[in-house]
Amino acid sequence: MELLITTLQVTVIGMGIVFLVLFLLSLILQLFESLLYKEEKVTKPSRPVRSKVRVQEGQGGEDETVAVITAVMASLLEDNEYVANIKAIN
C-alpha cells in the first residue's frame, strides 16, 4: 500500500512539473510575440471612389478608354487591387 501512495505522489508531482513548464513556455512565447511581432497598419480609404463616366456610343477606341480608366483606378488605389469590370452609365 505504501508503494502505491509513493507512486501516486511521484506521478502527481511529475505531472505538476510538466504542466508548470508548459505554462511558463506559453507565457514566454506570448512575451516574445508581443515584443517582436509588429502588426502592419492597414490604411483604409475614408470613402470609396465613385465617379460617373459618360460613354458616347458609336465611337471607336473603347479599348483605349477602358485601359485609361483602369490605369487611373490603379494609380488611385495604389494597392494590389484590380478593376474587375467597367459598366456604362447612361
CA distance linking residue 9 with residue 15, whole number of Å? 10
Q: What is the pLDDT of residue 8?
A: 97
pTM of the predicted model over 0.75: no
Percent of the chain with pLDDT over 70: 68
Q: What is the pLDDT of residue 51?
A: 64
Query: Can you give the residue ranges of every domain in the chain?
Result: 1-39, 44-90
User: Which run of H or E residues covers position 9?
Assistant: helix 2-36
| Long-range own/partner contacts, residues 12-20 (CB < 8 A, 24 or more apart) | none
CA distance linking residue 71 with residue 69, whole number of Å? 5
- What is the Cα Rg of the chain in Å? 32
In the chain, which stretches have pLDDT less than 50?
Answer: none
All cell numbers assigned to 22: 508548459
